[in-house]
């Protein structure tokens, strides 16, 4: 009898997918998006405890968390305006890594200051888990932890550097994962430091 692998089948780390020039272009586009659709402070459902990351979104749908729960919605929770369109570089990335699936509908933008983290979680607020979730890291390096599809059991950790892409597909689509820490000052990409993580998702079946 052999134990299930950690990370599970369907996990891919694609180091250096975006070179420095493309990282800079992407950050410029994200800054424009954030002017239109500013970072907001999400809170945990029920407890109202603030996340240590701030968030925004682009694409037709955006992920939000507030006192009432987690959900996808077409408008910004503070401004009430629709989320800005997804940059073409991101739709092209999705085309490249998930060609057999319909287009991504949501791109969550997470901003981490040097002391921010993200607890172990599954991405499971989507209607379908067929398509993978695809992430892009920009700015300071982070320590990423990933385990299996139950909360208990072994985990492994690895560094995500600026320009790296992670794909959670197959069995890994519902793997528990999180960010333990940010390595302050490890990148010069963002003027004031910190880290941006973009996660691309298919939300609906059709
Ligand atoms: C992060 N990433 O890198 C947190 N989720 O800041 C995620 O939560 C994540 O990297 C789904 C797929 C890939 C990811
Ligand atoms: Fe996640």
- The residues whose Cβ lies within 5 A of ligand 2, an ion, are 123
116 ligand 1 Cβ < 6 A:
no
110 ligand 1 Cβ < 6 A:
yes
- Of 1.20.1110.10, 3.90.1150.10, 3.40.190.10, 2.60.120.590, which CATH number belongs to 11-201? 2.60.120.590
CA 101 to ligand 1 centroid distance, Å = 19
- Residue in this structure with the two tokens 């999400």, named with its chain if needed: 42
Q: From the alpha carbon of 132, which atom of ligand 1 is closest?
A: 12
pLDDT at 206 over 90: no
Three-class SS of 105-139: CEEEEEEECCCCCEEEECCCCCCCCCCCEEEEEEE
Mean pLDDT of 155-160: 98
The 10s digit of each residue's pLDDT in 19-42 is: 999 999 999 999 999 999 999 999
The 10s digit of each residue's pLDDT in 164-181 is: 999 999 999 999 999 999
**List of E strands, the chain:** 11-14, 54-58, 62-66, 69-73, 106-112, 118-121, 133-139, 142-146, 156-160, 165-168, 177-182, 195-201
């Amino acid at each position: 009898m052999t134990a299930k692998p950690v990370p599970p089948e369907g996990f891919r780390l694609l180091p250096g997918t975006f070179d420095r020039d493309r990282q800079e272009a992407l950050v410029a586009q994200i800054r424009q998006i954030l002017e239109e659709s500013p970072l907001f402070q999400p809170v945990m459902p029920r407890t109202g405890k603030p996340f240590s990351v701030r968030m925004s979104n682009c694409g037709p749908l955006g992920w939000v968390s507030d006192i009432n729960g987690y959900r996808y919605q077409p408008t910004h929770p503070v401004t009430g305006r629709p989320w800005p369109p997804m940059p073409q570089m991101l739709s092209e990335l999705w085309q490249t890594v998930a060609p057999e699936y319909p287009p991504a509908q949501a791109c969550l933008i997470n901003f981490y200051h040097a002391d921010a983290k993200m607890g172990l979680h599954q991405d499971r607020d989507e209607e379908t888990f067929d398509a993978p979730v695809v992430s892009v890291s920009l700015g300071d390096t982070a320590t990423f932890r990933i385990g299996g599809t139950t909360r208990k059991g072994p985990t492994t950790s690895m560094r995500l550097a600026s320009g790296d892409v992670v794909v959670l597909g197959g069995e890994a689509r519902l793997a528990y994962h999180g960010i333990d820490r940010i390595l302050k000052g490890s990148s010069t990409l963002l003027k004031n430091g910190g880290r941006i993580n973009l996660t691309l998702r298919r939300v609906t079946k059709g």
